[in-house]
Amino acid sequence: MPTSLNFNPRQTTLSLQLLITMALTPAVSNTLIYVTFAIFFCVGIYAGVRARGKRQDKQDWLGATRSQTAWPLGANWFAANMGVWILFSLPEIATITGLQGVIVYTFACVVPIPIFAWLGPMIRRKSPKGFTLTAYMLKRFNRVLHAFISIMSVIYMACYMVSELSALGQTLNLLTGLDPLAPIIVVSLLTSIYTAYGGFRASLLTDTVQGWCLLFIVIISAIAIVTNIRIGPDQISAQPWILQGSKKGWEQLYILPVAVTFSNFFHQGFWQRAFASKTDKDLRQSAIIGSTMLFPVLFFIGFTGIIAAWAGIWPGPDPAAPVPGSLSFFSIIAILPDWLVGVVVVLTAALVCSSIDTLQSALVSTLSNDVFNNQLPLHFIRVIGVVINAPIIYMAARQLDIFQVFLIGDLLACVAITPAMLGLYDGFYFLNAYDALIGAIFGLFSVFAFGSGYYNDAQKGINLILLPGGLYVEDESVLGAFIAAPFGAAIATFLSFGSRQACIFLYCKVRGQEYEFPPKPEIDATLYAGDEFHTEDERQQTEADIHKAFDQKKIKKDEEEVDLEVATDKSRADVATATVPRSAHINSSAAPWNPPPCETLLFVRHGGPAVPRSRSKSGTGMRNAAASGAVPSGAVPSVRVPSSNSVVSSLGQRYCTSHYSLPLRRWPSQGSQLGAEMIPSLPYLGSRCSELEAESSDHSAFVVRFNV
């Protein structure tokens, strides 16, 4: 990502104009640029029309959670990680650390995708209504830490947009000689319009299309470069440093993945995509698809810096005015056919569209959810999505140097995200927002402490926080800073908790009270049911929250019946014959025993000795249970399971009566371990799909009828 970019757009135009003069006419250049913009604009509007035709409430407009399968989401991961920055920063590191640097930087850009796929389900379970990291921060900690992370995210994404638009203007000016202001304004307005119209779904569809288009364009560029540039063994052997490892390259193996990954946590567009997956499986598969597409593309772009060095194109013919390493890709384009310049122009336009609409959608979602607390009407949010571009266009047009802001953001991400991520682990439930804030503050202090000791100068220790030399320095100061930042923040977080508890302990001793370690919070087991995620509204439909951890049991299933057995500390429920929807309560009124042919009966017993169960259709187990006194004698003469329409024949079908229908959530696969996550379905059986058939006098057992 551009957080590690040593590219200053102010330095590019003059240096490259000494080397190349492009042959595209203004008419051809404008046609290529604006036709590309128009195509993606039409795709975005089409996505908006589709979204409005389905469901376009505010939550869907902002997040579109659980809506994407693996392949389109994989293309989204690919497109969202692309940007104009790749044409500058990846070839640049090739000119600094050779092949080793290209591999390391490519790895650093790809590794966040599987990390998001790993963390996404964890955060989604803990914050089922949210679709960004900031929503989880509010739920897990408090408004203070939530506000801090939200502000950092807004600043990061705004700077990212400025850098992308600045790079777009510089690239088009280098390749075509056009004034960059017009393309910057047009792409910002077009992407903001279709994003405001279609919301996050528009960004998803356009990124899917852009992802495949980018892959196709890069393949064409790769073929053109390979077939037009000849490199012999002598040219390779003349620069052995390119293929050799270096100390700086090994340092980047730690610095770049840490800097890129932590800073990407501020990019709420990535979290939106993680939460947009339909299931965990789709998310994992999409991460594999996106990573597989991204790695070779980024590696090739970075390798162009090596090709330029081997071919003698970089650093250029004039030693007095060398071409910066960040421009080595364009130095290759300068000697290739003019048609390839047009391909790169289209590539640049597609790259900026793929990154800008992602950032606009994420930025508006963060502002709406976190700054305005989700209180604004949807049409106001759409207006914000358009208006927010004005200051960004202004800064991009002035080509402001925001590289230093990105570098500071890298370190801030390390110290701010580390304590927050510790909160994901249930074993660290005792950490609170103040511990995390103190950890972040002292994480920065640890960078100062390291710098002061390393340089033996307090002023240089302060300067190290700003990383004035960038990421590619000759000494080990940057490596030390990125080690001190996350580890210092983590240690300070635990020290803060320890200090709080020490004060509480002393207070209790002085007051003669008993000290108690913070109790573990009660677990909402409904959040962990199956492979799906319950929303807040669904959980509120149950009669009580589940607060205990339950023993795990196995679920057995065949064509006609499923036996479920679950246990809690206070109750045990045995279920015979049928799988039921996970919702609701039991009606209080009893009905006479008269099951029609297409009904399924469910026997539930609480407490006491185990109830004999039978897997046959004859209902022997149920009769035995009735005979034992669990239910009134004669109340359960038999158990009937429809032979032609088994309730368990197709998971995901809908159970319904003549008036209502409820979706059946997916149960764990046959033989899987089953914990208390299943208990919500037992005491609160289908309020609208069930009737109480019989009940024992002590209310310890009952039989329920389900219409199928």
Same domain (yes/no): 408, 397: no
Same domain (yes/no): 234, 210: yes
β-partners of residue 604 are 702
On whether residue 281 sits in a domain, the answer given is yes
The 10s digit of each residue's pLDDT in 682-708 is 333 333 333 444 444 444 444 444 443
Q: Is the pLDDT of residue 117 over 90?
A: yes
Give 264's pLDDT tier (boundaries 50, 70, 90). very high
Same domain (yes/no): 461, 588: no
Calculate mean pLDDT across residues 48-52. Answer: 78
Q: Is the pLDDT of residue 384 over 70?
A: yes
Calculate mean pLDDT across residues 99-110. Answer: 96
**DSSP secondary structure string, 558-578?**
-SS-EEEEEE-SS-EEEE-S-
Residue 292 burial (CB count, 10 A): 14
Choice among 88-92, 346-350, 453-457, 649-653 with the minimum mean pLDDT: 649-653
On whether residue 27 sits in a domain, the answer given is no
Q: E-assigned strands of 394-494?
A: none
Q: Is the pLDDT of residue 81 over 70?
A: yes
Same domain (yes/no): 322, 390: yes
The 10s digit of each residue's pLDDT in 133-187 is 888 888 889 888 898 899 989 989 999 999 999 989 888 888 888 888 999 999 9
On whether residue 144 sits in a domain, the answer given is yes
Residue-level pLDDT at 132: 84
Q: Is the pLDDT of residue 231 over 60?
A: yes
Same domain (yes/no): 418, 515: yes
Same domain (yes/no): 490, 557: no
State how many domains the chain has: 3
On whether residue 650 sits in a domain, the answer given is yes
On whether residue 670 sits in a domain, the answer given is yes
| Sign of the torsion formed by the C-alpha atoms of 368, 372, 375 and 376 | negative
On whether residue 26 sits in a domain, the answer given is no
On whether residue 253 sits in a domain, the answer given is yes
| Sign of the torsion formed by the C-alpha atoms of 308, 309, 312 and 314 | positive
Rg (CA), the chain: 30
Domain final residue, candidates 401, 416, 436: 401
What is the CATH number for 351?
1.20.1730.10
Same domain (yes/no): 678, 659: yes
Percent helix / strand / coil, the chain, rounded to 5: 60, 5, 35
Query: Domain range for residue 608?
Result: 525-708
Residue-level pLDDT at 173: 84
Residue-level pLDDT at 380: 86
Give 561's pLDDT tier (boundaries 50, 70, 90). very low
Same domain (yes/no): 639, 690: yes
On whether residue 41 sits in a domain, the answer given is yes
Domain final residue, candidates 521, 553, 570: 521
- In order of 564, 615, 658, the CA distances from 662 in angstroms are 20, 26, 12
Q: Is the pLDDT of residue 619 over 50?
A: no
Same domain (yes/no): 543, 496: no
Give 520's pLDDT tier (boundaries 50, 70, 90). confident
Q: What is the mean pLDDT of the chain?
A: 74
Give 114's pLDDT tier (boundaries 50, 70, 90). very high
Same domain (yes/no): 341, 419: no
Give 115's pLDDT tier (boundaries 50, 70, 90). very high
Of residues 184, 120, 180, the one with CA closest to residue 424: 120
Residue-level pLDDT at 54: 63
Q: Is the pLDDT of residue 338 over 70?
A: yes
Of residues 458, 89, 26, 94, the one with CA closest to residue 249: 94
Q: Is the pLDDT of residue 578 over 60?
A: no
Question: Which residues lie below 8 Å from residue 640, measured CB to CB, with a gap of 6+?
Answer: 595, 597, 599, 600, 601, 617, 619
Calculate mean pLDDT across residues 608-612. Answer: 33
Same domain (yes/no): 391, 423: no
Calculate mean pLDDT across residues 56-71. Answer: 82
Domain final residue, candidates 492, 521, 550: 521
Residue-level pLDDT at 300: 95
Give 523's pLDDT tier (boundaries 50, 70, 90). low
Question: Which residues lie below 8 Å from residue 612, measured CB to CB, with a gap of 6+?
Answer: 621, 624, 625, 628
Calculate mean pLDDT across residues 434-451. Answer: 94
Same domain (yes/no): 555, 515: no
Does this model's pTM top 0.95? My answer is no
